[in-house]
Amino acid sequence: MEWFRWQRNPWGQEILRGLSWDLIWLALAAGLLFAVVHTLLYYWRLRPNTPAGMAGKKNRTDVGGQVPERVPRHSLASRTFHWIMATSMLALLFTGFLPIFGLKFSWVTPHWISGLVLTGAILFHIIHASFWKGLASMWITLQDLRDGWLNLRQIVGLPDPAPGRTGKNPLENKLFHHVTSITTLAVIATGLLMMVKVDTPFWTRNPYLLPDDTWGVIYVLHGAASVAFITLIITHIYFAIRPEKRWITLSMIVGWIPRTRYLEHYDPEHWPVTQQTIRKATRPSPKDG
């Protein structure tokens, strides 16, 4: 397996061309391997009837009467951003990788258009998260690290106190968010630079803006981030379709979770249900199975 692609310029010099596409298969294998290992681990240690799966999972009845039937989790703005980002990202992957595997079509225009859509969605999310949602909800706290360490020790069977319930975003969600954010910003930054080499309605291409060596580094970074998305998306879809996680996936569609799920999985002290939240939940939810 090669890591990079090289080519010779008109002067016979060997220059960096980009990341080796052999790594696509490595990223695909890594995502599928993670899904298999987690599935085996789930049935061994994480199911509700196992010690690690039952730790800290009893409902909180002392605050049950104060929690609405429907607990809002994702606003309309957050859901709209999520699905626009998901659609544009999949469009980027398909238009970017299918030609590598021999499927010939005019991919350049839909690729850069999808990139601009993704860029606009990320800019919206940064502004929305900074001024309306609040950035603190995604900060990794010492409590997150302690609970994550206790969870890890329980998974491998070591005796430890049960970790407490989490806030709205547990440690694994925050870590995935941060890794995805870094990867997305890398794709956008390098992709916008690469657009100067493409003719668009807004400008004429200029392939000589940067020297060949610099373009090679940009291609490698863009390719590495794109390949990493394969593993990240497989992991994300895997958790989204797991039976015990589908209620979280559903909340990204309808915007709320049932009260029973809230009491089972979350600590009201770390994710309090405010009066504003209660006013938003005006309709009773269907029974949660």
Q: For residue range 81-119, what is the model confidence (pLDDT) as tens digits?
A: 999 999 999 999 999 999 998 888 888 899 999 999 999
SS3 239: helix
What contacts 7, CB < 8 A, 6 or more positions away? 14, 15, 17
pLDDT at res. 225: 94
Write the CA distances from 68 to 130, 245, 266, 282, integer angstroms.
27, 21, 14, 8
pLDDT at res. 160: 66
pLDDT at res. 232: 95
Segment 175-181 shows an average pLDDT of 93
Segment 229-241 shows an average pLDDT of 94
Task: Provide the β-strand partners of residue 14.
Answer: 8
Write the CA distances from 150 to 37, 48, 75, 128, 155, integer angstroms.
20, 17, 31, 33, 9
Tokens, residue 187 = 């794709």
pLDDT at res. 141: 84
The amino acid at residue 210 is L
pLDDT at res. 60: 52
Q: For residue range 185-195, what is the model confidence (pLDDT) as tens digits?
A: 999 999 999 98
Write the CA distances from 39 to 2, 102, 218, 265, 286, integer angstroms.
31, 33, 37, 20, 29
54 touches 48 (CB < 8 A): yes
**CA pair distance 266, 259, nearest whole angstrom:** 10
42 touches 152 (CB < 8 A): no
The owner of tokens 């994710």 is 271
- 131 or 179: which carries more pLDDT confidence? 179
pTM of structure: 0.81
81 touches 120 (CB < 8 A): no
117: burial class by Cβ within 10 Å (0-12, 13-18, 19+)?
A: middle
